[in-house]
Copies of this chain bind each other. A is one copy, B any other.
Amino acid sequence: MGGVSTTERDRVPKQDRSRATRQRLLEAAVACLAEHGWTGSTVSVVAERAGVSRGAAQHHFPTREDLFTAAVEYVAEERSTALRDLFPEGAAGDRQAVVAALVDLYTGPLFRAALHLWVAASHEDQLGPRVAELEARVGRETHRIAVELLGADESRPGVRETVQGLLDMARGLGLANLLTDDSARRERVVAQWAALLENGLV
């Protein structure tokens, strides 16, 4: 576009800068949602937090819905990758530790941000279908990782539901951690259910 000639050498750093800006916006968006909720989270607030102009933010994400759904998806992918990296040996590892790490997915700022988005989506028409689709996608991916890291054989009856129930419990524990630090109780519940789960995975 335009008359400015761009050498290969110039173009690559520009793409990098654009990617870095996008990434900063996504991370700022999740932090902002987690701290201030949906009502307090606008494109302008996020742009300012990321140190990016409002115009640049809107170039990357034309609407508020675009920005926040992309942000939750991006951070969820980051967390999934980190979780896989934590257990390179997969099913061969310590199942109790895997259960604890899966539960940890639901106690940080990402879960908090996602929760705000879900709750807003439950009564905002333009968010509803997008967030439902996002939730299904992220849910499927988390389920896939859980099955893999737990070494669960889903061809056996009940194993799929055992893993699903575990992730539902993790989500509930995330909710219980929203207003108070629930970590001591959570640790005991996780230890007990990790033991009970052994019966549901074989």
Chain B residues in 8 Å Cβ range of A118? 175, 178-179
Is residue A132 contacting chain B, with contact meaning CB distance below 8 A? yes
Q: Which residues of A contact B (CB under 8 A)?
A: 35-37, 39-40, 112, 115-116, 118-123, 128, 131-132, 135-136, 139, 158, 161-162, 164-165, 167-176, 178-180, 185, 188-193, 195-197, 199-200
Smallest Cβ distance from A189 to chain B, in angstroms? Answer: 5
Smallest Cβ distance from A29 to chain B, in angstroms? Answer: 15
Chain B residues in 8 Å Cβ range of A188? 161, 164
State A46–B123 Cα separation when bound (angstroms): 17
Query: Which residue on chain B has the smallest CB distance to residue A39?
Result: B39
Chain B residues in 8 Å Cβ range of A112? 122
Question: Oligomeric state, in number of copies?
Answer: 2
Q: A-B pairs with the 8 shortest C-beta distances?
A: A171-B172, A172-B172, A168-B172, A161-B192, A169-B169, A132-B179, A165-B193, A165-B189
Smallest Cβ distance from A198 to chain B, in angstroms? Answer: 9
Query: Which residue on chain B has the smallest CB distance to residue A37?
Result: B123
Chain B residues in 8 Å Cβ range of A161? 188-189, 191-193
Among B37, B115, B170, B196, which residue has its beta carbon within 8 angstroms of that of A196?
Answer: B196
